[in-house]
Structure 1
C-alpha cells in the first residue's frame, strides 16, 4: 500500500511538471517537443501503474536520462552545426550590418572635436554636443543627433543642460564611466555619416 501511494505521489508530481511543460511548449507552437513530452509522460504512467513490467520499471529512468543527456545533445549539436540557428544569427541582416559598422569605427583624421556634456533622463544617457560652429545637438545610442534650441550654457559657451534632463556631475561620470565610454551616438540616421564617442570610448 505504501509503495503504491509513493508511486502515485511521484507520478503526480511528474505529471504536473509535464502538463505545465506541455502548456508552455504548446503556447510557443513547439509541437514536436510537446508531442515527445506527452508520449513520454503517458509511457511512464503506463509502465509504473500497470502491474508487472518489472524490467521496464528499472530501465525507464535510465532510458529517459540517456535520451535527454546523450541522444538529444548529439542530435541538437548536429542540427546547430549545419544551420544558422546560433547566437550570431538570431537577428536580421540589417542589424548585422549595423553591428559590423559600429565595430569597425575609427576616428577620421583631422575630424573636428565636439564639446560634450552627458545628460541623464530616466536612466538613459544622452550626449549634448556643441560643434565648432556653436550649433547644439542632442542624441543617444538609439537616437541620432538632433538640433536643440532650448538649452543652457556654462561660462565657456558650451551647452551643459536641457530641460527635462539631468546633467551628470564628475561623481556620476566616474560611477558610470564604462557605460558612457561604450556609447556610440549616430550623427544622423545614416550610420555611414559616423558616430560620436567620448575621448575614452
Structure 2
C-alpha cells in the first residue's frame, strides 16, 4: 500500500473532488479575469447610461460567477453558471423590471397629473376647423331593442 495521496483526491467512496493542476488553475484565472474585465466594463457603461437595474443584474451575475469559480466547494455549479446566468438575465430580470415599471412613475403616461392629462386630451383635436362633424344613432329595431 502506498502512503502518498494527492492533495485534491478524497479517500471516501462516492466523494470525488476535481484534480487541480497548475495549468488548469492558470487557465481558470485567466478566463475568469477576462470575464471580470468585460463584466466590469459593461457594468460601468450601463451605469453611465443610466440603466441601473440592468447594471445591478449584471453585477450579481459577475459576483455569482466569481464565487462559483473561486470556491472549490461549488465545483458542481460551474457546469450551471452559464445557464443560471442566462435564466436570470432573460427571464427573471424582465419580470422584475416589468413589476418595477408597473409600480413606479417611470412609464410615459405617468409624467403628468390626472388633471394635466385630461386638459391635454381635451386640447387635442382630430378634426380640421373646416371639417364636417357627423352624428350617429344606433340602429333601433321595431321592438325597441338596439342591435
Provide TM-score, normalisation by structure 2: 0.49
TM-score, length of structure 1 as denominator length: 0.39
More strand by share: 1
The answer to which structure has the higher helix fraction is 2
